[in-house]
Amino acid sequence: MIDLNRASVLVACGAGIATSTVVMDHLEELFKKENLDVLLVQCKIAEVASLQSEAALIVSTTILPTSYVTPALNAAPYISGIGMEELDKEIIGYLKAYLNTSTVKM
Partner 1 sequence: MALVSFMDESLIKVELEVESQNELFQMMFQEAYKKGYVKDTYLEKIKEREAIFPTGLCMSDYSVAIPHTDPEHVIEQFIAVATLKKPVTFSLMEDSTKTTDVHVVLMLGLNQPHSQIEVLQELMQVIQIKENVLGMIHAKSEQEILGIFGNINSAMIGGD
Pairing of strands 57-60, 38-44: unpaired
The conformation of residue 63, written as its DSSP 8-state character, comes to -
List the one residue from 50, 80, 101, 103 that touches partner 1 (CB under 8 A): 80
Among 7, 9, 11, 19, binds partner 1 (CB under 8 A): 19
Determine the residue type at 37.
D
Pick the closest to residue 54 from 103, 102, 6 (CA basis): 6
Interface with partner 1 includes 61 (CB under 8 A)?
Answer: yes
Q: Is 69 in the site for partner 1 (CB under 8 A)?
A: no
Helix (H, G, I), strand (E, B) or coil at 43: strand
Cβ proximity to partner 1: between 2 and 17 the closer is: 17
Least distance in Å: CB of 101 to partner 1? 28
Q: Of these, 76, 88, 94, 98, which contacts partner 1 (CB under 8 A)? A: 76
Instruction: Give the Cα separation of 75 and 89 in Å (integer).
Output: 12
